[in-house]
Amino acid sequence: MKKKLKKIIKELESLKTDLYQKDFLLTWQKSKKELKQTLLVAEALKLLRNNNISPKVFDSGLAISQFRDNSTRTRFSFASAANLLGLEIQDLDETKSQIAHGETVKETSNMISFLSEVIGIRDDMFLGAGHEYMKEVGAALDYGYENGVLPTRPTIVNLQCDIDHPTQSMADLMHLKETFGSLENLKGKKIAMTWAYSPSYGKPLSVPQGIIGLMTRFGMHVELAYPEGYELIPEVIELAKKNAEKSGGTFKISNSMEEAFTDADIVYPKSWAPFSVMEKRTELLKNKDTKGLESLEKECLAQNANYKNWECDQEKMKLTKEGKALYMHCLPADISGVSCTEGEVAENVFEKYKTQTYKQAGYKPYIIASMIFNSRIKNPAKALSKLLKK
């Protein structure tokens, strides 16, 4: 254990990054060195925890969570990450706050931050709003710190917005690094990020966008597949194209799940709502148009039903490289015959890879802890050395 941790610390000492006192909002805002540092610190924290060495670097302080949408994995991962580092978790429930009485974002952000180290925000309901809200909170915290209201400026961690889901995609990258041995070994590997049928609608675009925005940076062959009409945000598509060109990988879009699965090393079948639908849904939600939302849901479910064959089954898995591709999912998956009649993945496929998907999810607490650690600790390598010595 000591040998492995010392190797991680040595690698960290060689990295020149700008993560200290910075928010973690979008993976593509971070350099490859900063992404590597995030992974290394996550690995170190996991190693310490697994060997019963406390990684607590805080004696006190709050980690505020603000979930504006439902969550299981990310909610508990954030709480676990905060506890791992010695922070007390406090949930901001908007229904129990003065927000309902008209308290502004600027005021709320400052009032919750007097002794806070980090604010984790999940806001993926409104297209064009979640990421902007996080930036608004950031600006409010800047104001508080610059004007002497706050002794320190808490870090914001994006726990999922309308554009990206960095804690998920970074946990996925850590899972791939562990599976294939190194980040360098990912170069040339094919990952199929595909739409899959779901008997529900309105699922965010942030997971597929997070995957294509991140994996294209490591020389991978990324293929995005969906039925016609299920496009993602155009700007993210353009970003993925540029990333692939720069990294020496490729980025391709197809309208065939079978084509995407062919010779793939990794498959990631996941349902999402079309970009155009999310635009309509956002306007209806803002206007509190219940009837309009009901009508849109019926329309979208009928559209989804045309593509029930977009299921990850054994036949499609046989198309992958040697029929042994790694199956990935952010969970919960819509499992045919288990959680629904027909869904994203066949029961026999999910059962085969269930342990792997649970392990994939298990990296998220360490990724979040690493994002907090790197933003609050000026010299991560030195801090980890102290923890090891202690």
pLDDT at 286: 85
Same domain, 320 and 292: yes
Q: Are 195 and 230 in contact (CB under 8 A)?
A: yes
Instruction: Give dist(CA 226, CA 193) in Å, integer.
Output: 9
Same domain, 27 and 150: yes
pLDDT at 282: 87
pLDDT at 285: 84
Same domain, 146 and 272: no
Range of the domain at 129: 2-164+364-389
Which residues of the chain are modeled with pLDDT < 50? none
pLDDT at 103: 83
Radius of gyration of the chain (CA): 21
| Helices 234-247/206-215 angle, 10° precision | 20
Same domain, 152 and 179: no
Type of residue found at 34: E
Same domain, 190 and 316: yes
pLDDT at 1: 83
pLDDT at 390: 83
* 161: Cα separation from own chain's centroid: 9
- Find all residues with CB under 8 Å of 373, minimum gap 6, and list them: 41, 45, 57, 85, 380, 383
Distances (CA, A) of 267 to 92, 177, 332, 345, 346: 36, 15, 16, 11, 14
From 368, 19, 377, select the one nearest 160 (Cα to Cα).
368
Same domain, 138 and 187: no
Same domain, 236 and 289: yes
pLDDT at 86: 98
Same domain, 344 and 383: no
pLDDT at 126: 85
Same domain, 118 and 215: no
What letters, b where the CB count within 10 A reaches 16 and e where it falls short, cover 199-222? bebbbbbbbbbbbbbbbbbbbbbb
pLDDT at 100: 62
Query: In this structure, what CATH number is given to the domain that contains residue 201?
Result: 3.40.50.1370
pLDDT at 122: 97
Same domain, 236 and 144: no
Same domain, 128 and 196: no
Instruction: Give dist(CA 222, CA 215) in Å, integer.
Output: 7
Instruction: Give dist(CA 286, CA 120) in Å, integer.
Output: 23
- Find all residues with CB under 8 Å of 141, minimum gap 6, and list them: 109, 110, 113, 119, 150, 153, 154, 156
The burial of 343, by beta-carbon neighbours within 10 Å (0-12 exposed, 13-18 middle, 19 or more buried), is given as buried
Domain count, the chain: 2
pLDDT at 101: 62
Scan for tokens 């089954």, then name that residue. Answer: 313
* 12: Cα separation from own chain's centroid: 23
Same domain, 145 and 185: no
